[in-house]
Structure 1
Amino acid sequence: MSDDLVPTSDPTRLRASHDDRERVAQALHTAMAEGRLTVDELQERLDAVYSSKTLGELEPLTRDLPAPVTLVKPVAPTVVPGVRPASPAHLVGGYPTSSVAIAVMSGAERKGPWVVPRQFTAVAFWGGIELDLTRARYAEREITITAVAVMGGIEIIVNPDTTVLVNGVGIMGGFDDKARCEGSPGAPVVRINGFAFWGGVEVRRPKTKELRKFEG
């Protein structure tokens, strides 16, 4: 499948319409009538207008004019109910409340309001661990979670607005990354590494039903 057929969230790669091209062409004609463009410059830009396929190719053609044609609308950030937009002011800071979670033939969890340290270790051996970062704060802007699952399971639920980088290994097990994403500018960075041996580590974002109780 070619790149042109792959869905994209980049508005500059959206296909231009006839109306889009005509708006730009009209602006160029007006600029020539005002003496801002020569006939040769107008023809050169009109050739580019009618050969353009995307909005990103069209918009720069009037960018140096007093009234440029705006075709690409800024994309508003996604707002998840119950989760505040990420910013260092309210997500970073505080004294770590826990630095390790161990489950040996048992279970362990960290959830609710808690402060994640710069380095956090989770080890599950024939047991299960849940780390819920949905309402967590971070002692520093960048933190690292080392997750080790041996014949056990570890589930890590990350805040949707943080930047998440997963680099784990599954050996006869799984290290599933379902949350790799770029957060808001200045948002905390959560690095997750480790390994799963005859076990599983799953990193994911919270489901809608898990966030409903925080709404309002």
Structure 2
Amino acid sequence: MDVVNGENGTMGQQKTRLRSRMSGIRGGIPQDRHRSMSAQACIHAADWLMREQIRSMLIYVPFRSELDTRPLVEEAWRAGIEVYVPRCLQENRSMTLHRLKRWDELQSGAYGIMEPDPLHSPAEPDAFVPGAVIMPGLAFDMHGGRLGYGGGYYDRLHERFSAKGGKWSKRPKWAGIGFGEQVVERVPMERTDARLQVLITEQGVHEMNGEAEDGTDAF
């Protein structure tokens, strides 16, 4: 249900407007800048993974104008960090997690996004939790806010990892990665929305909400 936010309309309307604006901004980044900023952000992300001694990560395969994470995936492979990528199940808007060891294990999946072929890389058990979840987004803020695409896939994954009475003894670091131009003053967020603990851009690594073990932070 949309949350009414005064004269600016419902929160859903705010998010729709912001998605439209930020999609245009991200899509308008010239190819050479997109490539160089992606590479720099991936360097910062790799340094962060090593500094935090994170040995496994869930990360997206880039699609359209998203920040290109392929340099980070290849650096993780070289460093012995396990790489997992999601496969979207459109029927219930959930994700399964699959280990990726080579690019040729991918095939076109939901929405035209490259996803793991489950015949070559079976889904991990529901009890599996990576050391970090690195997500795309259309907009971010410096308070841990993230605006996704509206499908709720990562929200459902967060709920799975954070389920009360769940069997997980640890929680992943909840991180977003994007371009500096995608950072806004405030992303419309509800109290129940998961908030980032880390934001990575070409400008560096920004940590926030460190007291939240699972990325949830009341505000």
TM-score under structure 2 normalisation? Answer: 0.23
TM-score under structure 1 normalisation? Answer: 0.24
Larger proportion of helix: 2
Larger proportion of strand: 1
